[in-house]
Structure 1
Amino acid sequence: MGEDSEAESVDRRLAAALASLRAQHGWSLEELSGLTGLSRSTLSRVERGELSPTAASLGRLCAAYGRTMSRLLMEVEAEPPLLVPSGSQQVWYDASVGFARRSVSPPHPGLRGEIVEGTLDPGATISYETPPVPGMEQHLWVREGMVGITVDGTTHTLGTGDCLRFRLRGPSRFHCPGPERTRYVLMIVMP
């Protein structure tokens, strides 16, 4: 399966999972719109697979459903394997901001940790208004480039090799000032 058809397949499964989650919660589009701040039209188009969600909108949906982005993306897979070969690691790309997210070690029921690799193009910024699960522990380790991350109102600038450990309780923002892209590893530990 080619890269484009795999991305389309992930988008279709993600759309179905989001529609199913809303139905499980018994929420109307209007109610979900009120919880996320996303328009009914946008939510409807995302659930029908006509529109791929941005990182920010997916973050809002994850917060409403109380899931990390990794957990939601893992749920679109049938059964998470114990060994995840590099070529099988799910990659999700938000072209609107230049952000790629690879689930290196996808979440698994009964386990509290997961590893994610993120890349940000120069100038890219992603912001999340609320954490999907308040109080989750994160360790951000920069492998290449530089990233500014704002957590609890404080901005930290990390360069290659730097690591920041924090508990996520409120809004967060990631920014790649450039001139090169940023590649980082994020370890997530659920409370």
Structure 2
Amino acid sequence: MDARLADRLAELRVERGWPLEELAHRSGISRSTLSRLERGEISPTAALLGKLCEVYGRTMSRLLAEVEEEPPQVVTAGAQPVWRDEESGFVRRSLSPPHPGLRGEVVEATLRPGADISYDAPPVPGLEQHIWALEGAVEITANGRTHLLEAGDCLRFRLWGASRFRCPGPVQARYAIFVVLP
């Protein structure tokens, strides 16, 4: 999957006719890092992938779905793509990947204790999200407001600005994100 992701990131840049310098300017990511990402020499962190999704106007799930094979209607547990960012302590399982003709998706996320991930902007302005805390606690900042969710709590919003996900507790946070695509 990493090799297909690297190829897709290069394709997206070329489709727009941007040299690496232009993408570096738009994303705030160094030209050398972008070059290494596109050649598959390094795997992107959640934060880097978030910046690229913002520039390309895609959700992370949509971008990852573009490099996966067409998912069946029933996505068995063993077939659910899992992406890990070891640096930040973020694990993302695509329970219901984007599918042609469907506007929603479901993602399971896990953050290790102390994990803290920030995104400068949503990949798509006004993106509707519903976040359901399953285990532990997760602190979510969206549109300038911070919310602490504990197991069973659900937060729903449209994201217009920066966001942050933090695991403040002594145990990992596990939560489901329901995304409604525009």
CA positional deviation for 1:66: 0.7
2:107 partner amino acid: V
Residue of structure 1 equivalent to 2:148: 157
Mark the runs of 5 or more structure 1 residues left unpaired by the alignment: 1-9
Give runs of aligned pairs for residues 151-190 of structure 1, distance below 5 A.
Answer: 151-190=142-181
SS of 2:2's partner is: helix
CA positional deviation for 1:109: 2.2
2:28 partner amino acid: G
CA positional deviation for 1:40: 0.2
Identity %: 65
| 1:104 aligns to 2:104 (yes or no) | no
**TM-score for the superposition, normalised by structure 1:** 0.94
Residue of structure 1 equivalent to 2:46: 55
Distance in 1 between the 2:176 and 2:161 partners?
20
Give runs of aligned pairs for residues 123-142 of structure 1, distance below 5 A.
Answer: 123-142=114-133
Distance in 1 between the 2:30 and 2:64 partners?
22
Distance in 2 between the 1:37 and 1:81 partners?
36
CA positional deviation for 1:166: 0.4
Indicate the RMSD between aligned Cα atoms, in angstroms. 0.7
**TM-score for the superposition, normalised by structure 2:** 0.98
Mark the runs of 5 or more structure 2 residues left unpaired by the alignment: none
Residue of structure 1 equivalent to 2:14: 23
Give runs of aligned pairs for residues 36-75 of structure 1, distance below 5 A.
Answer: 36-75=27-66
1:73 partner amino acid: L
CA positional deviation for 1:83: 1.4
CA positional deviation for 1:22: 0.8
**Runs (4+) of structure 1 moved beyond 3 Å?**
none
| 1:33 aligns to 2:38 (yes or no) | no
The size of the alignment, in residue pairs, is: 182
Distance in 2 between the 1:21 and 1:153 partners?
30
SS of 2:178's partner is: strand
SS of 1:70's partner is: helix
CA-to-aligned-CA distance 1:15-61 (integer Å, 9 cap, x gap):
01111111111111011011110000000000000010000000000
